[in-house]
Structure 1
C-alpha cells in the first residue's frame, strides 16, 4: 500500500479478516481473504459481500436535474417512471468516448442519485459541474463521501441480508430488480456487478463496520476484488479503463444498448460524434480451446481481420479461460479464431455474452 492510498470505513475489518490488500484506483482494497476461487463460488452458490465504498455516490437535486441528465448521459433518464428505478448509462465526451459508465437512480424529477466508479470519481465531478455551470442550470451536485457501500450478492443474498439489516425487514421487502429504495439512513438497491441477484447498500460510514459484522453473523462471506473481477467477466459486464475508456465509443464496446437516440429533440454530449461514426468493431466473448490463460491485450485473428482482448481470466464456473474481445464487426458468435499467447497461435471460439448468469453457464 502506498502512503497516499485512501482507506474505506471497512479497512480495519479487512485487515482483521486477514485480507490481502492492494492499491486499486488509489484505494487500499482487499483482493482476497484467502482463496479467490472459493470467494467466487460463494457468490455463485450462496452469498458473498464486497466493500464497494471506494465508489462515489453523488446526489443531484434541483429544478433542472432531469434536464441536466438528459443532456449529460447517452441513455435517457426520461424513461424512468417508477420511483427509485435505476438506469445504466455511459457519460461521453464530445468525441463520443466514454468518460465513465454509471448508474443513476430517479427518486423524483428534481431528485436523483448517481453512482460513479472510484478511479474516475474526481474527473467525473469536475466534468459534471462544468456542464452544470456552463449551461446555467438550477441543480446541485453533492458528493457523498460520508457514505459507505456494501454489495451483497448471490442466490441467498436477500435472505441473509434481511437477517442482518433491520431496515430491510425481510427478503420479500427488497426492491424490484434495478430499483433502489430509501429506508431510514440507507439506500438499498437491487443491483450488482456479478450476474447474481443481490443488493448494493449505501449507508452512513459510521454504521459500516457494525453492518459488515452483522452480515458476517448471518453467514455472508467477505469477498475481494479478485472474485469481483472474475464474476463480472463471466457475467459479461464491462470494466471501465479496461473494456472502454475516453478513447472508445460505446458502440464499439458492446454498449450500444445503453445509447438512446429515439428522441430526435434530445441532444446529449457525444451524440453528434456517435451518429457520425457508427460502430466499427464489436465486443464478443472468447473461450480458449487450447491450454493457456487469456489476459487483456492479446491479439485475436478472425476471418474478418485482427482484434484484441480487453479483459481475460480463468473462469471458475466454466473451468475454462475466457475473455472479452473487440473484433471486426463481421465476426459472429460461434466462429473459430486464433489468439497469440507468448508467440504461439492458439485456438479459441467466439460466443455471445454473458458466459454465466444466475449461476448457470450460458455457453
Structure 2
C-alpha cells in the first residue's frame, strides 16, 4: 500500500484536530469540525485553504506564447499585461479535457501554469511530449518545492495584508485573475469559491509560519468539504466529475473558455468542430426533500441526463447540482432525479447559484 503524500502543512492540520482523508493520494483535511460552519465562514468573512497539492509548472524560453497558443483551447493572446491570468482547458486530440488550469503571463519568455493535483503528472508529461514535437527549445519545470495557500472571502485580502507586511503595496492594485511576484512569493487574485481573495504560492519551508500568522490574524482554516460546496455554489467545475478526458469542454459548461473564433489551430480543435455538442451542463435545484449526488440519473422530456456534481447548499438551504442533459432542456424546465429508487422533482436553473455571500437565484 502506497503511503499518502503530505503537504508541508500536514502537521499544522493535525495540530488543529483536522479530520484527514485520502484525496487523490494526498493526506488532506476534509474539515476541522463543522463543514457547514466553515462554508459560512468563507461566504461571510474569510478562511484559508491548503492547496499545496496543486502543481505549479513554469514554461520558459523563446516561443512560449506560440506553443501555448497550440497547447490550450483558450487563447493566450488575450494575455497582454504581465501578471494577467487565463482559465483554460488543455485538450487531447479527441477534444476531451486532459485538465482545466490557470495560466499566468509573466513575460514573453515565462508563463506560469497551475494544474490539478490528481492530473499533474499526466499534465506535465503531455506538455513535455507536445513541446518535444513543437517547441523543443522550451524548458518545462514543475515546482514541488512550492506550497500554496488560498485565502478566500470578503475580508480575505485585508487579512493577507495584515499577515504579510509589504503585500498591500504590491497587490492592492491587482484586478481579479492577475498576479504579482513578491520576493520568493507569488500572489494571485484568483480562487475556487466564488469569493474574492488570494492564492499565494510560497516556499514549502515558509508555509507553516505563514499559515500560523494568518491564524493569529483571525483567519480560520477550511477543509476540502467546504471547498467543494463553495465551488459548487459558484458553478465551478471539478475535474473528474464535471469533465474528463472523454468529455468535450463544450458539453461541460466550458464553451466560454474555448476560442473557436480565431484562425489559430489548437489540440482538439478539429474534433470539437467535427462533433458539435448534443448535451450541455445546467444547474438543478431540488424541489422535493433529499440530496442530489454525483452520477444520479436525470429524466427529462428530451432524454436522459446525469448529475456530475451534487450536494446540499448551505447558502441556499437546498440541494443543488450540476447536470449534463440534452441540449433541448431549457432554464425553467422541471426534470426528475432518481434518488434512492424515487423520482424527485428538480428545477433547471442558470448557475452560478451563489457568490459574494448571497444566493443568485
- Larger deviation: 2-11 or 273-282? 2-11
Q: Distance between the aligned counterparts of 1:16 and 1:6, measured in 2?
A: 18
Q: CA deviation at 1:58?
A: 0.4
Runs of 4+ in 1 over 6 A off after TM superposition: none
1:1-56 superposed Cα distances (whole Å, 9 cap, x missing partner) = x6521000000000000000001111100000000000000000001000000000
Matching of residue 214 in structure 1 with residue 196 in structure 2? no
Higher mean displacement: 170-179 or 349-358 = 170-179
Q: Cα distance, 1:167 vs. partner?
A: 3.9
Structure 2 Cα separation of the partners of residues 88 and 177 of structure 1? 12
Check conservation: 1:75, 1:88, Cα contact below 8 A.
Answer: yes
- For residues 225-255 of structure 1, what are the alpha-carbon distances to aligned partners after superposition, in whole Å with 9 as ceiling and x for unaligned? 0000000000000000011000000000000
Q: Counterpart of 1:25?
A: 24
Number of the residue aligned with 2:337: 339
Instruction: Tell me how far apart the structure 1 counterparts of residues 44 and 328 of structure 2 sit (CA, whole Å).
Output: 37
Q: Secondary structure at the match of 2:27?
A: strand
- Residue 129 (structure 1) shift: 0.2
Superposed, which structure 2 residues align to 1:194-343 within 5 Å? 194-264=193-263, 266-343=264-341
Structure 1 residues 1-363: aligned runs within 5 Å: 3-169=2-168, 173=172, 175-264=174-263, 266-363=264-361
1:172 to 1:63, Cα distance in 2 relative to 1, 3 A: closer
Q: Distance in 1 between matches of 2:302 and 2:63?
A: 47
Are the aligned partners of 1:68 and 1:137 in contact in 2 as well (CA < 8 Å)? no
In the superposition, the TM-score normalised over structure 2's length comes to 0.98
The structure-2 alpha-carbon separation of the partners of 1:212 and 1:28, relative to structure 1 and needing over 3 Å to count, comes to: same
Give 3-state SS (helix, strand or coil) of 2:186's partner: strand
Aligned residue pair count: 361
Q: How many angstroms apart in 2 are the aligned matches of 1:272 and 1:105?
A: 26
* CA distance in 1: counterparts of 2:216 and 2:138, whole angstroms: 42
Q: Is the 8 A contact 1:158 1:174 kept in 2?
A: no
Deviations 1:170-207 (A, max 9, x none): 69725211001011111000000000001000000111
Q: 1:170 to 1:33 in 2, by over 3 A?
A: farther
Q: 1:174 to 1:255 in 2, by over 3 A?
A: same
Deviates most, 337-346 or 88-97: 337-346
After superposition, give the CA deviation of every residue in 1:119-159 in whole Å (9 maximum; x if it has no partner). 00000010000000112432111101110000000000011
SS at match of 1:169: helix
**Worse-matched range after superposition: 173-182 or 192-201:** 173-182
Q: Distance in 2 between matches of 1:345 and 1:11?
A: 42
